[in-house]
Amino acid sequence: MSKLDAVFSVGGALAAKLDGYAPRIQQQELAQAVGDAIAQRQVLVAEAGTGTGKTLAYLIPAVMSGQRVVVSTGTKNLQDQLFQKDIPLLRRALNLPFKAALLKGRANYLCLHRLNVSEGYELHGSRSDLADYQIIRSWAGRTRSGDIAEVSGVAEKAMVWMSVTSTADNCLGQECPELEQCFLLKARRQAQEARVVVINHHLLCAEWRLRQTGFGELLSGGDAVIVDEAHQLAETASQFLGLSVTGRRLVELARDTLLEQRSNAGDMGDLQIAAEQLEHWVRELRPAFGQELRRGSWSELESNQPLLNGLAGLLERLEALGAVLHTAAERSKGLESCWNRCEELQENLQILLHDDDNDPGAHAVPDIERHTRHDRSPHPGPLPEGEGEQARRSSYGNWVRWFETYPKSFALHRTPLEIAAQFREFMQAFGGAWVFTSATLSVAQRFEHFTASLGLQEAATQRWESPFDYPNQALLYQPPGLPDTSHPDYTYAVVQAALPVLQASRGRAFMLFTSYQALRDAASLLEGQLPYPLYIQGTQPKGVLLERFQRDGNAILLATASFWEGVDVRGEALSCVIIDKLPFAAPSDPVLKARIDALKRRGVEPFVALQLPQAVIALKQGAGRLIRDVNDRGVLMLCDPRLKTKSYGRVFLNSLPPMPVTQRLETVQAFFAEKST
C-alpha cells in the first residue's frame, strides 16, 4: 500500500480525524493522479464530480510531495474554507507541520493610513456611514490580520470600505507612514514564507502580469500550482487582461484628490473645484447610458451622440484635473499618486474613444503593472523606464470594446478575445506542475473546450463520476407540453408546470432562471400561490437569503446568475431544483458576439466550439446544486423543450450525472411521497 493509499484507507489518517469518513475510490484515484502530476511536473486536467472530496484529494498529495504549493480558487468563500477548515484538518490528519498562508486581493485588507486620514471627512456625513466607520475603527484595534471579512455589522458593499481600504492606484508604497503595520504587506510576507499559499484567480492573473515585467513573487520554478474551480479561470483572465475605465474608479480618484487637497494643499481651491467637477460629471453621465442594467456593444455607444458628447466632456474634466494635479503632485506622495492615476485614466479613456480598429494589437494590454506593481513585499518602486510601455504594447490578439451599466455607475471595457497562447507561455516559463480541477470541465465526457481556452495542448485529462448514488437519489423531470422558449407566455407555462411539483416537494426548492426578466415575471406569478416562504434574489443580500432558506426548511428561492454555482445547501431544505431554460449566453452579449465573429472568420462553427460547451458547463453547475451529500435526495426539473426537440439536447443530457428520466408528473409526486411516508 502506498503512502497515499494509507492516508485514504479505512483505518488511515483521514478516518482517524474525520467523523463519518468512508473511503471513496474516486478520491483515492484523483489523489494518486495529482501526486503523479506533481512528481513528474506535468499538467493535469481533472474533473471530479460532486462528493468526490477533491479538496483533500489534491491538498494531501501536494503537501506530501514536499514542494511549495500555490492553490488558486474561484471565490473568497472557497479560500476561507480551504484555509480555515481543510488545511487545519490536513495538519491534524497527517501529523505533518507545515506553514500555510491565505492571501487575498488588496481590497480585502484594512488600510490603516486611509482609516486615519478619512476620519471626520465629508464622506462619512450620513448617519449610517459614521456608524460603519466607528465599527471599523473599533475593530481595527483588535484585528491581527486586517481581513475585512472579520467585520460584522458593516455591509460588504458599504461605501465606507472605499475610504478605509486601498487600491493599487492610491497605495503610497514605501512612503506610507503605516508601512510597518500594513496588513497587506504582512500577508504577502507570510505567503512568501509558506509551503501552502491559498490565493484566488485574480491574484494568479496578477502574478502572470508581474512575471512578464520581472516582479512575480508568488510562484517560483518547481512549485506546484493547483487551480480549483478551474472552469472560471479563462473568463477571469480575459477580464483581468483587458482595459477598462469605470465610474467607480473615477469617483474614487475625485474623492481621494479632495482628501489629499484638504490635508496637503488647502490653498489650492482650483484643485478642489476640478475634483468636484469630475465627480459631478461622472454622476450626471450615468443616465445617458439608459436606465437598463446591461452589457452593450460599442456600436450602440457610437450611435448615441449625447453619450459621446458626455464622454468627450469626461475626458476634458480628466485633463483639467490632471493639469492641476501636475502642479500639486510635489506637495505629497498622495497627490503624486492621484496625478499618476489621473494620467492613466486619461490615457485609457483616449484609447477607448479613439481606438484604431485596423490595429488589433495596439494597446491590447493596459498598463496592468501600474495596478499591480505595489502588490509586492516590500512595496516596489516604479518599473524601469520603457518596460511598462513595452508590456502595454504587447498583443493578446483581437479584442472587443463594449460598455456595462450598473445601478449608479458604468464601465467602458476592452477585452481580449483569446488568452490561450499567452497563458501557455506563462505556464512554460514557470516550469512547475499544474493541476486544473473542477466538477464541471468536460462536455459529454470530452475536455477540448476547456483545454483550448487555456492553451493546454499536452495536458493529461481524467474524470471521475460523483460517488453519489444518482440513480436512487435523484430524478430528472422534463415537463411535457411547454411552448417554444421564445413564446411570450413561456415563463407563465414554466410556473404553471412548476406549481404541482412545488406542492409535491412541499417547497424546499431553487428555481433558477437564465434572465432577470424571467425571474421577475415568475416572482409575480408565484406570489400568494403556495403556502411556503418565497425568497427573491436581489431583495436581500445573498448570504441572508441562503441563511433564511436553510432555516425555514420549506422555502422557495428564485434566483439567477450567482446562485447557479458556489452555493452549497445540504439536507432536505433543498430537495428540488427547477431550471427554466438551457443557459445559453445571450447572443447579443458584445464579448460573445465578437468571439463568434472571430471563430467564423477562421472557419470554425461557433455554436459547436463555443456556445454549446459554455451552456453545458453552466447547466452542470446549476444542476449540481441538487445533490450535495450522500443522504440528499431530490428532483431536477429541466423545463426547456429543446432537450427533446433539438439534436444537441442529447449533449446536455449526456453531460449530467446518470439519473432516471421521466415526463410524468405522477412519477415526481410518487418520488416525494416515498420519502415522506
Looking up residue 617, the CATH number of its domain turns out to be 3.40.50.300
Q: CB under 8 Å to 378, separation ≥6 — which residues?
A: 174, 185
Do 483 and 498 lie in a common domain? yes
The confidence score (pLDDT) of residue 285 equals 96
Whether 3 is in a domain gets the answer no
Do 175 and 254 lie in a common domain? no
Whether 394 is in a domain gets the answer yes
- Which tens digits make up the pLDDT trace of 477-521? 999 999 999 999 999 999 999 999 999 999 999 999 999 999 999
Separation of alpha carbons 322 and 337, rounded Å: 11
Q: CB under 8 Å to 648, separation ≥6 — which residues?
A: 612, 642
For 171-233, give the secondary structure using H, E and C. CCHHHCCCHHHCHHHHHHHHHHHCCEEEEEHHHHHHHHHHHHCCCCCCCCCCCEEEECCHHHH
Do 378 and 286 lie in a common domain? yes
For 636, other C-beta atoms within 10 Å of its C-beta total 24
The confidence score (pLDDT) of residue 356 equals 55
The confidence score (pLDDT) of residue 211 equals 58
Do 227 and 211 lie in a common domain? yes
The two beta strands, 410-416 and 243-246, are antiparallel
Whether 10 is in a domain gets the answer no
Separation of alpha carbons 420 and 592, rounded Å: 16
The confidence score (pLDDT) of residue 2 equals 76
Do 156 and 204 lie in a common domain? no
Whether 8 is in a domain gets the answer no
Do 654 and 612 lie in a common domain? yes
Do 64 and 41 lie in a common domain? yes
Whether 458 is in a domain gets the answer yes
Nearest Cα residue to 511 out of 564, 444, 474, 552: 564
Q: CB under 8 Å to 564, separation ≥6 — which residues?
A: 512, 583, 618, 621, 622, 625
Instruction: From 437, 464, 491, give the residue that closes a domain.
Output: 464
Separation of alpha carbons 389 and 393, rounded Å: 6
The two beta strands, 661-662 and 433-438, are unpaired
Do 557 and 623 lie in a common domain? yes
Instruction: From 373, 399, 414, give the residue that closes a domain.
Output: 414
Q: CB under 8 Å to 424, separation ≥6 — which residues?
A: 454, 455, 456, 457
The confidence score (pLDDT) of residue 293 equals 87
Whether 9 is in a domain gets the answer no
The confidence score (pLDDT) of residue 676 equals 58
Contact 477, 579 (CB under 8 A): no
Whether 359 is in a domain gets the answer yes
Q: What is the CATH number of the domain that holds 348?
A: 1.20.120
The confidence score (pLDDT) of residue 620 equals 96
The confidence score (pLDDT) of residue 39 equals 93
Do 664 and 569 lie in a common domain? yes
pTM of the entire predicted model: 0.87
Nearest Cα residue to 267 out of 346, 177, 331: 331
Residues of the chain below pLDDT 70: 1, 120-126, 209-217, 220-222, 356-397, 675-677
Instruction: From 395, 414, 433, give the residue that closes a domain.
Output: 414
Do 60 and 145 lie in a common domain? no
| Amino acid identity, position 257 | T
For 667, other C-beta atoms within 10 Å of its C-beta total 14
Do 170 and 215 lie in a common domain? no
- Phi then psi for residue 419, to 5 deg, are -130, 5
- Which tens digits make up the pLDDT trace of 438-485? 999 999 999 999 999 999 988 999 999 999 999 999 999 999 999 999
Whether 1 is in a domain gets the answer no
Q: What domain range is 118 assigned to?
A: 106-183
Nearest Cα residue to 466 out of 117, 164, 51: 51
Nearest Cα residue to 586 out of 494, 514, 648: 514
Number of folded domains that form the chain: 4
Give me 261's grid cell: 487637497
The confidence score (pLDDT) of residue 76 equals 85
Do 486 and 545 lie in a common domain? yes
